């Protein structure tokens, strides 16, 4: 192999390595909005009755802020907030969480309580700050 060919092959190998190594070492995700360390994602997760089937529950930050939330009544997206749905939650958008508490569904804009987004770790749905992510 000529010297130019060897240089090209080595250069290509180094650039290829850096394309994968830099995101891995800086904590950047290759794609998506996932925090690989915690398994948390912005938004996402199941919604409505699928959230109930997935046993997604509201976290303590959102559930303690019902005074800042909107009371949407006993039903939301075809789910009734009763004993069987108590605590069920989902991200209605990247910033809004919906959860069942005490017979009513509440929708809470996470930005209204110093949060930045609605996040989910697969089972717990809550409001988080960017610094948590």
56 and 76 assigned to the same domain: yes
pLDDT at 43: 85
Read off the DSSP letter of residue 92: S
Helix or strand or coil: residue 125? Answer: strand
What percentage of residues in the chain have a pLDDT greater than 70?
70
Domains in the chain, number: 2
26 and 50 assigned to the same domain: no
> Is the pLDDT confidence value at 19 over 90?
no
End-to-end alpha carbon distance in the chain: 48
Which whole number is the average pLDDT over 18-23? 37
Q: Where are the alpha helices (DSSP H) in the chain?
A: 3-26, 49-53, 60-63
Phi, psi of 73, rounded to the nearest 5 degrees: 90, -170
pLDDT at 77: 94
119 and 59 assigned to the same domain: yes
pLDDT at 28: 29
27 and 75 assigned to the same domain: no
Read off the DSSP letter of residue 88: B
* pTM as predicted: 0.70
Higher pLDDT, 89 or 27: 89
8 and 62 assigned to the same domain: no
70 and 98 assigned to the same domain: yes
Distance CA 124, CA 120 (A): 6
pLDDT-derived band of residue 51, with 50, 70 and 90 as boundaries?
Answer: very high
Which whole number is the average pLDDT over 70-83? 97
> Is the pLDDT confidence value at 78 over 70?
yes
């Amino acid at each position: 192999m000529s010297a130019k060919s060897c240089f090209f092959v080595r250069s290509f190998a180094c650039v290829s390595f850096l394309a994968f190594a830099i995101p891995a070492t800086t904590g950047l995700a290759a794609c998506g909005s996932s925090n690989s360390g915690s398994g948390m994602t912005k938004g996402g997760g199941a919604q409505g009755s699928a959230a109930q089937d997935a046993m997604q529950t509201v976290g303590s930050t959102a559930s303690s802020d019902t005074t800042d939330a909107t009371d949407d009544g006993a039903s939301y997206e075809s789910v009734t907030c009763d004993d069987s749905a108590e605590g069920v939650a989902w991200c209605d958008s990247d910033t809004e969480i919906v959860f069942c508490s005490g017979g009513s569904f509440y929708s809470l804009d996470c930005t209204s309580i110093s949060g930045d987004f609605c996040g989910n770790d697969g089972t717990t749905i809550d409001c988080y700050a960017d610094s948590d992510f």
